[in-house]
């Protein structure tokens, strides 16, 4: 089973790097369900943030994680320039959002 790390890279499984995983997501591969079932360990907290300076409005993050992110009236992610807590049940989606961002503006910080 493939799962996305904090850096947006894939560990184990079918997709060895983020670029291949993103191609699989675009092609409709089953990476979404695999990442959503990823083992998360014993996490105390996780924060998802979007760097306002890096975000250029591609929209791939909110397409990859519609349960977490949405777009504003200009097409930018509503979390742009801010951060939010991510529940354990949404870590898979958060990891997909990180991997989907071509500008590397989306970051996930997982703590213990």
pLDDT tens for residues 70-95? Answer: 999 999 999 999 999 999 899 999 99
pLDDT at site 70: 95
Domain count, the chain: 1
In the chain, how long is the greatest CA-to-CA distance?
38
| Its pTM surpasses 0.95 | no
Closest CA relative to residue 99, chosen from 69, 64, 66: 64
- Contact between 23 and 64 under an 8 Å Cβ cutoff? The reply is no
Full residue range of the structural domain in which residue 27 is found: 3-111
Spatial neighbors of 26 by CB under 8 A, at least 6 apart, are: none
């Amino acid at each position: 089973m493939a799962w996305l790390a904090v850096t947006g890279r894939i560990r184990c499984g079918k997709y060895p790097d983020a670029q291949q995983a993103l191609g699989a997501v675009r092609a409709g591969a089953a990476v979404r369900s695999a990442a959503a079932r990823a083992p998360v360990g014993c996490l105390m907290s996780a924060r998802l943030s979007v760097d306002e300076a890096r975000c250029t409005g591609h929209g791939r993050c909110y397409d990859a994680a519609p349960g977490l992110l949405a777009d504003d009236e200009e097409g930018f992610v509503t979390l742009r320039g801010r951060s939010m807590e991510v529940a354990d049940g949404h870590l898979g989606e958060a990891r997909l959002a990180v991997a989907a961002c071509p500008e590397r503006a989306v970051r996930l910080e997982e703590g213990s």
